Amino acid sequence: MAQFFSTQHRGNYEVRSVIVDSKDALTGTTGSEPCEFIGRLSEQINLTGPTEIYLSSIYIGGYKINENVNALYDDSGDTDIINYFSLDIPEFDIAQIGGQFSSDSRNSYTDMNRRFNLVMESPSRSGISGVLTPKDYKPFVLGHLGKTAVYVSTIKPKTLNRLTVNIQDQDGLSIFRGLNNPGNHSVDANPPAKSRRVILQFLLVETQRADN
C-alpha cells in the first residue's frame, strides 16, 4: 500500500527537496537501450539521522508505445506495452518486496523486487488504430501532488552526492523501443529519441536529534 507524507511541519524534522534530471543522457540512444543515468548533485547532502524518502513528482518522456491494435491492456508475447515503471536507485536502499505466480510453488523472483514501482493508469499503446500521432507521445507525469508525496524508502545516515537511476518495465525490459523495428507494427518510429528524458523530484525527511 502506498504511503503518503504531508509537507506541513512535523516537529523535529528537516526536509530537503532534491531534483535529478537525465538532461541529454538518453537522447543519443536510438534503440531499446536501458534507461539509466547518474545524476550528480550540485551540492553534497549529509544526512546525520534516519531519513524517509518520498517521491513528489516524476516526468518520463519518450517511452515505448505499442501500435498493435490487437493489444489492449496486455498482450502475451508483446513486449512493447508498459503496465508499470519499475525504478531502482541504489542510494535509496529500496526494500520493497515483490512476488509473482510460480507453478512450482516455490518463492518466485520478480523483476519488480527491491524496486520502487509506479503503475500506468492507461496502457502505453496508440489511441488511434495502430497509427501514432503526436498526442500519443505525451510523457508520463505525476506532479503537482500538493501536500502529499509517495513513500519510497527509509535510509540510514549517509552522504549523498549523486543518484543512480535505472528504470525498467514490469518485466525487466527497456522502457524504450528501437526506432526502426516495424515487425507487427504499422510505423517504423516510436516517440523520437530526443524526447527521452527523465526528471525526478524527491523529499528527504531527516529525523533530527532533540539537541539540534
Q: What is the pLDDT of residues 23-62, one digit of tens each?
A: 999 998 888 899 999 999 999 999 999 999 999 999 999 9
Instruction: Give me the number of domains the chain comprises.
Output: 1
Residue 24 CA to residue 150 CA, distance in Å, equals 27
Answer for the pair 202, 55: CB distance below 8 angstroms, yes or no.
yes
Mean pLDDT of 155-165: 96
Is the predicted pLDDT of residue 185 greater than 50, yes or no?
no
Q: Which residues pair with 40 in a beta bridge?
A: 162
Flag whether 133 is in a domain: yes
Is the predicted pLDDT of residue 204 greater than 70, yes or no?
yes
Flag whether 3 is in a domain: no
Flag whether 184 is in a domain: yes
Flag whether 6 is in a domain: no
Flag whether 91 is in a domain: yes
Flag whether 212 is in a domain: no
Grid cell digits, residue 51: 531519513
Flag whether 1 is in a domain: no
Mean of all residue pLDDT scores within the chain: 79
* Domain ranges, residue 141: 13-207
pTM of the model: 0.81
Flag whether 149 is in a domain: yes
pLDDT score, position 7: 41
CATH of the domain at 188: 2.60.120
DSSP of the chain: ---B---S--SSEEEEEEEEE-TTTTTT--SS--EEEEEEEEEEEEE-S-EEEEEEEEEEES---B--TT-SS--TT-----SEEEEE-GGG----------TTSS----TTTTSEEEE-SS-SB-SSTT---GGGGPPEEE---TT--EEEEEE-SEEEEEEEEEEEETTS--S---SS--TTSS-S--S-GGG-EEEEEEEEEEEPPTT-
